[in-house]
Structure 1
Amino acid sequence: MAMDLQSPNDDIVQQRTMASMEEKLLKSRQRRSHPEPHTICPFPGSLIKVHDEIRWPQLTSFGPCRHRTHRFLPFEKRKWDLLDEFLTRTKRNWQFYYERLMNSTDQIKRCYSEEVDKPADDHELVEMMLLDGSFMVELFLQYEEGKDFTPPPPWSVQTLIADLLKLENQLPFFVLENLFELSTVGPPIRSLSYLALRFLSQAFRKSPEMVKAQVRKPKHLLDLFRRSLLPATNLDEDSQLSKHDHPMHPIQSVKHLRTAGISVRQRTAKSLLEIDFKKFQIPPLALKIPPLAIDDFTNAILVNCVAVEQCFTDESKHFTAYVCFMSCLMKQPEDVGYLRSADIINGFSRDEESFINMLNGIGTKVGSTLRECYLCKQFREIHCYYNSYWASISRSFFQYNHIMLYCSLLQIIVSIVGWRVSGN
């Protein structure tokens, strides 16, 4: 009689399988009991092939997404320095903040998607949140006090700000707020959102008035910065106008629009997204665009804001529409040259080609997904005007040819009649 022998290795495999199933079932129960969606996720795959390098931090990493790789280790010392300064400022030891963050570990984990490889040990996760979070809060406080933070060469503050606004470098904003609120005695004079935007906006080459602080319950720093730049438009009205539209037609480049009599001018606005087309301004018709800098920072901001909108379906597609709109306008260096002469864009000429490639790459990837957006009206009116302009030119040319043909026939008839009369 044969006996079914089971080796110790089989028992180990079975135990691991059962433990894995238990862990997956537990995660499933947690998702159902806490239905709120995550707010931080990896860079969307649709954009990786277009601009993979923009997703990577240059100076340092925050949070678990791309944490503590070897090339970021030198900057870790600066984080510990600012943590020490934060503790000195607040006159509290690190255990005070550590214990309170430990009570929020489940909430912190839910902010990150399952694709993010989070530390298995809660203590490691809390240490990460405390070190990175206190660095950010102290950084914003010191800037408000007039102290300049100098990153190690060859990096600049602009590089640090770009890293703070990378999608895969985000911390839950409530972690920063908890640290900020616990660190103050009495009501704070300024909100954390205000302090953060004050620091972040210094690298955007814009006046302070162009950055608003009225952002309620931001998910993270990138969400705060992105929403602070959204234009104050009637989105409900624009959506109603576009619901029955077909997919948006691309508009022509600056060169072709100018040929059709549409001038392109700089516009002073509170947001770089506030593009306006004056359809009934005669003469001339004017497309007005707020100024924009061409540099690595702008590239990173635009791409990461589009990435947020592509990751979360409930987010408005303002930056996606803006990038698609600008990609239509700038097809060739001569389009960029005209916008530069009109003071709409500025920056180094060496960045022009990469900027055009960035715009066109994103426009190709996500442009077809736009159905309703805040620029629907501008897309439609420019497209209709351009087509009607050239249709009228074609009609005029056709009519002119007919008139010239009639004149030629009449001239031939007159010549024949004259010849016959003279012959008689």
Structure 2
Amino acid sequence: MAHVIGTERRHKKCEDLNLISTASDTVSGLVDSIQKELKELPSLPSNCSIYRVPKPLRKIKPGAYRPRMVSIGPFHRYKKHLQPMEAHKLRYLNDLLSRKSQPNLGDYVKAVTKLEYRARQCYSEIIQLKSEDEFVKMMLIDGCFILELILRTNNPHEPRRRDDLILNATWMSQVIKSDLILLENQLPFFVLESLYKRFTGNSNSSGLDTLISRFFQDFVPQPQSITPESSQFRRISEVAKNVLISVTRWPSMKKNQGEVVDPLLKVEAASTIKDKETPAAEEPEEENSKAKHLLDFVRDLLLQSFSAKPENRGKFALTRSATQLNEASVEFVKLPKTCLLNITFSKGVLKIPTMRIEDWTEPLLRNLIAFEQSHDDYSHEITDYAAFIDGLVNSPKDVELLEKKGIIESLLGEPEEVAALFNSLLKEVSPTIMDGNYYFSSICHELEEHYKIPRHKWKASLMRNYCNTPWAFISFLAAVFLLILTVVQTICSILQVTISSQPYM
């Protein structure tokens, strides 16, 4: 019996040792597996500027972030409905190369290849395409497509080609232009600059800024003027400004000693001569552009006269609706089409730049807000602007009031659509306006203090009820005059009675 018990104990001990050994082998295997994955883990991009739109934002308005006609960059490259545009991209590449007498595709390929690593770092995801060389090919074709589209659009004298389905159809060119300002549909701006330099043969790419500004002029509700006071936007030289003027004056193509010469190249040649007079080293490819991509470029245009003043910023404060403020004697005055942030309030007058609302307005604002939400390093002026207007617009009546004052110019149709647009812009948006850095903090506090003063409401009520029409005003004056006469008559009667009641001396 004792022998049997001893045998069982030895078996149990062996089993325990086997379990311990097996567990140890499992731990060792897991450690090796995890260490291998850690070694193979690619590093995250260090210079992101092109992001996926967060799912909470996307679910509010999916179509505002999705390209409809053309894919730019890797995020939507293989979408089936965007494939027909790939052939047009190649046609535009061929036409761009044909603008010079001896097109050399190899120069463009070399230029983009040098930028491949830096360009990959601009995307928030590790880019994996079907082949090893496809990333460079994509950057080249998409970048040249954008350049050719901008060049054709900026030269009104260039004859329209019968096979150019994009510019021959106004609706299509507008849709493509809208696709180019989507956050997920971007190329790094330095790629466009590099391609433009190869195209012009000039190390100065300042002319590209002017061409892009002109290209997106419909999306920017202010004059295309770049001022030295702009805190965000790159200064554009006088030579760059002359690019657009020259393009509009010269015909598209000229024959010069049997060689086809593009007017844009003439302008850049003049710019090169000027550069030689004041020699400077070529800008290194690694230097960061101030604009990250086309969406960021448009954002700079919208804020071109913006000057960040620390005293304007503070804690978030609620803005009363336009009708409420109007009932407290706040006068709404439209400003010329300048920077969106040039909103001021003084002596009961709220001045706001005119905002034009079209089909592309909502996608543009949503993508700009998504871009500002992508990283803490980005300022959030567009988000602050959306929060301020959202406070003013609570109902269709607010929209009607702002339309009447010329502050909103809507091409959407009913005021309900405009109200719904602004009331949904900040849904699922992280509350960056609550961080004590709200741009319109002081204005909101001043409006609230003005609203709380009772006499302002009495004044507004008087003006609304008795002075809203000439006849009402005349009736009001007549009533006041009769009241004064009645008071005078009453006083005279009292005096007469008082005098007659005194004893006769």
TM-score, normalised on structure 1? 0.77
Q: 1:383 to 1:40 in 2, by over 3 A?
A: same
- How far residue 392 of structure 1 moved from its aligned partner, in angstroms, is 8.7
Task: Please tell me the residue identity of whatever aligns with 2:344.
Answer: D
Is 1:214 aligned to residue 234 of structure 2?
yes
Aligned length: 367
Residue correspondence of structure 1 range 11-410 to structure 2 within 5 A: 20-24=37-41, 26-27=42-43, 36-90=46-100, 91-114=102-125, 117-119=127-129, 121-146=131-156, 147=158, 151=166, 155-186=171-202, 190-204=206-220, 206-209=222-225, 214=234, 217-230=290-303, 232-238=305-311, 242=314, 247-277=315-345, 279-280=346-347, 285-350=348-413, 352-366=415-429, 368-370=431-433, 371-389=436-454
- Asked if the contact 1:57/1:166 (under 8 Å) is kept, the reply is yes
- Asked if the contact 1:133/1:171 (under 8 Å) is kept, the reply is yes
- Asked if the contact 1:79/1:131 (under 8 Å) is kept, the reply is yes
1:141-188 C-alpha deviation (Å, 9 max, x unpaired) = 222322477627583332222111000001001111110111113455
Q: 1:390 to 1:310 in 2, by over 3 A?
A: farther
- Asked if the contact 1:129/1:171 (under 8 Å) is kept, the reply is yes
Q: Distance in 1 between matches of 2:195 and 2:292?
A: 15
- Asked if the contact 1:38/1:112 (under 8 Å) is kept, the reply is yes
RMSD: 3.2
Task: Please tell me the residue identity of whatever aligns with 1:166.
Answer: L
Identify which range, 212-221 or 322-331, moves more after superposition. 212-221
Task: Please tell me the residue identity of whatever aligns with 1:222.
Answer: L
Q: 1:230 to 1:125 in 2, by over 3 A?
A: same
Task: Please tell me the residue identity of whatever aligns with 1:200.
Answer: F
For the residue of structure 2 that corresponds to 1:113, the secondary structure is: coil
Partner of residue 417, structure 1: none
Q: 1:349 to 1:39 in 2, by over 3 A?
A: closer
- How far residue 15 of structure 1 moved from its aligned partner, in angstroms, is 11
* Percent of aligned pairs with the same amino acid: 28
Identify which range, 91-100 or 376-385, moves more after superposition. 91-100
Task: Please tell me the residue identity of whatever aligns with 1:219.
Answer: K
- Asked if the contact 1:238/1:376 (under 8 Å) is kept, the reply is no
Q: 1:349 to 1:233 in 2, by over 3 A?
A: closer
Q: Distance in 1 between matches of 2:371 and 2:205?
A: 31
For the residue of structure 2 that corresponds to 1:168, the secondary structure is: coil
Task: Please tell me the residue identity of whatever aligns with 1:171.
Answer: L
Q: Which consecutive residues of structure 2, in runs of 5 or more, have no partner in the other structure?
A: 1-30, 236-288, 459-505
Identify which range, 381-390 or 169-178, moves more after superposition. 381-390
Q: 1:383 to 1:72 in 2, by over 3 A?
A: same
Q: 1:232 to 1:238 in 2, by over 3 A?
A: farther
- How far residue 113 of structure 1 moved from its aligned partner, in angstroms, is 0.7
Q: 1:236 to 1:273 in 2, by over 3 A?
A: closer
- Asked if the contact 2:96/2:148 (under 8 Å) is kept, the reply is yes
Larger radius of gyration: 2
Q: Which consecutive residues of structure 1, in runs of 5 or more, have no partner in the other structure?
A: 1-13, 394-424
Q: Distance in 1 between matches of 2:35 and 2:69?
A: 42
TM-score, normalised on structure 2? 0.65
- Asked if the contact 2:107/2:198 (under 8 Å) is kept, the reply is no
Q: Distance in 2 between matches of 1:228 and 1:293?
A: 15
Q: Which structure has the highest helix share of the two? A: 1
- How far residue 220 of structure 1 moved from its aligned partner, in angstroms, is 0.5
Task: Please tell me the residue identity of whatever aligns with 1:92.
Answer: P
- Asked if the contact 1:50/1:358 (under 8 Å) is kept, the reply is no
For the residue of structure 2 that corresponds to 1:235, the secondary structure is: coil
Q: Distance in 2 between matches of 1:238 and 1:49?
A: 36
Q: Distance in 2 between matches of 1:194 and 1:154?
A: 22
Q: Distance in 1 between matches of 2:293 and 2:40?
A: 28
Identify which range, 326-335 or 362-371, moves more after superposition. 362-371
Q: 1:182 to 1:303 in 2, by over 3 A?
A: same
Task: Please tell me the residue identity of whatever aligns with 1:226.
Answer: R
- How far residue 354 of structure 1 moved from its aligned partner, in angstroms, is 3.6
Q: 1:132 to 1:189 in 2, by over 3 A?
A: closer
